[in-house]
Structure 1
Amino acid sequence: MKAVKYQKFSEINPSDLLSMLNRTKVRKHLIDHPLFTVDTLNTWMDAKIAVDSIPGCRIRAIVFEGTLAGWCGIQLEYEKYELAIVIDDQFWGLGKAVFQDMMKWAKELGHKEVFIHFLHTRPGYRFLDKIAKSVHKTNMHGDNFTTYQLEVK
């Protein structure tokens, strides 16, 4: 498989991200919120760029074969570092490679553990069940999630 590349949000075309984030198949697995507009996307991107500047955090666009495939990041939520991965449905097969890269980032950033929260609409992940320190249900932002607590090795 060809390499996945990661770019800072300031290096991507926001309109590519806008169309991807507003796709029905992508939104199905995200917290419910209004469709993005150019203005709300720019505000959201500015917030993610600010998160990227926080020690221990890293936010990147996912690019595969020159096409924006999604975004990912290590961000601070509820005083814990979480992994966020949002991938366009046509690139869903990249998720495991992106996850592995993010675990390397977590190690580089000095994390001992990270969390990943999957909205209740997503299926379970056997490979995460096998490596997780714990798996439990969480309620955040008014929705239910399956939370994986992962040790960074």
Structure 2
Amino acid sequence: MGEITYQSFALINPADFLPLLNSSVTRTHLIEHPTFDERAVREWVSGKLSVDNARGCRVRAVVVDGELAGWCGIQYESGAYELAIVLAEKHWGFGIAVFRELMAWARELGHTTVLIHFLHTRREYRFLQKLAKAVYPTEMLGSKFTTYELAVD
């Protein structure tokens, strides 16, 4: 398996995110949104940098063997801290390692509980079901999700 590093969005050229954010495969797992152009991706990166500066949050680009593989983070949304992991299809095998890193960040940041939301079209994850305090359906921005509520130990 390759070497994973986590880099500030400030170190990544915003245009480098375009193939990931506009990938039809990646988009099937995300809330429906318009495709990104260079202006929109610069605004998106700026927004993620603001989230990264917020108390209790951390957002990073995921780099595997020097190649941008996606992004991840702990974000504050709708009154709770949530985990986000978005990886290019080529790098999906790194998801559990990224998840473990996010849980370590959650401990470091002092969180006791975090949520992770998967679009309802995604399969349920047994390893998350075993870890979760609760699993329940949610709706956000007109989309349905399976939400896993995880204790941070």
Q: Which runs of 5+ in 1 are unaligned?
A: none
| Structure 1 counterpart of 2:133 | 133
The answer for the alignment partner of 2:43 in structure 1 is 43
Q: Write the letter of the residue equivalent to 2:147.
A: T
TM-score w.r.t. structure 1 length? 0.98
Note if contact 2:119-2:145 (Cα within 8 Å) is conserved in structure 1: yes
Equivalent position of 1:74 in the other structure: 74
SS at structure 2 position matched to 1:84? strand
Paired with 2:118 and 2:126, the residues of 1 have a C-alpha distance of 13
Aligned-partner Cα distance in 1 for 2:22–2:82: 23
SS of 2:90's equivalent in the other structure is helix
Give the alignment's Cα RMSD to 1 decimal: 0.7
Instruction: Give SS of 1:54's match.
Output: coil
2:15–2:42 CA contact under 8 A, matched in 1? no
Residue matched to 2:120: 120
- SS for the counterpart of 1:148 is strand
Aligned-partner SS, 1:72: strand
Q: Report if the CA contact (8 A) 2:51-2:58 is conserved.
A: yes
Distance 2:123 2:68 in 1: 24
Paired residue secondary structure (1:121): coil
Tell me the secondary structure at the aligned position of residue 133 of structure 1: strand
**TM-score, structure 2 as length reference:** 0.98
1:93 corresponding residue in structure 2: 93
Q: Which residue of 2 aligns with 1:6?
A: 6
Please list every run of 5 or more consecutive structure 2 residues that lacks an aligned counterpart in the other structure.
none
**Post-superposition offset of 1:34:** 0.4
- What amino acid maps onto 2:91 in structure 1? F
Distance 1:4 1:105 in 2: 15
Q: Post-superposition, which runs of at least 4 consecutive aligned residues in structure 1 deviate over 2 A?
A: none
Q: Output the CA distance in 1 between the equivalents of 2:130 and 2:35.
A: 35
C-alpha displacement of 1:3: 2.7
Q: How far does residue 58 in structure 1 lie from its aligned partner after superposition?
A: 0.1
**Could you tell me which residue of structure 2 aligns to residue 65 of structure 1?**
65
- Residue aligning to 1:83: 83
- What secondary structure sits across from 1:136 in the alignment? strand
